[in-house]
Amino acid sequence: MPGSHAQWAPLEKFPPDNASDRSLFNLPVQANGADGFKLALCLISSGLEGADARIVHTQHDEIIVEAREDIADQVKVIVKESMENTFKKIIPEVPFVAEIRVAEAWG
């Protein structure tokens, strides 16, 4: 998101009154996952500025970045560090490892 800035602050998440017991346990996991994913997208976008690479697609917990082959290793580092550092900030007690894969095509 060139020209934009994002700031993350933890939000208190309150389940609806009619939530089931299972949803009460799942709400913080999904909410923090969604917040972390959005923040990671911002960090990746900032990290890719000036590089011949761009985010082309997201799906669930995957981010697809298109880059020239000669900078693929640099882009891998940007994506991995952005993802992992984001979740260290949000949930420091839980280890988070981003699995990065380079391919000729996505799909």
> Which among 36, 34, 13, 8 has a CA at the least distance from the CA of 25?
13
Rounded to an integer, the average pLDDT of 74-92 is 93
The 10s digit of each residue's pLDDT in 45-65 is 999 999 999 999 998 889 999
**Strands (DSSP E) found in 21-83:** 53-59, 62-67
Tell me what pLDDT residue 35 has: 87
Digit-coded pLDDT (tens) for 8-55: 555 556 656 666 666 666 777 777 788 889 999 999 999 999 999 999
pLDDT at 1: 47
CA distances from 95 to 9, 20, 65, 86 (A): 20, 28, 24, 11
Average pLDDT estimate for 91-104:
90
For 3, the token pair is 């020209």
| CB-based contacts of 3-8 (< 8 A; 24+ apart in sequence) | 6/38, 6/39, 6/42, 8/35, 8/39, 8/89, 8/90
pLDDT at 60: 84
Task: Return the pLDDT at 61.
Answer: 84
The pLDDT of residue 101 is 93
Q: What integer pLDDT is reported at residue 16 of this predicted model?
A: 63
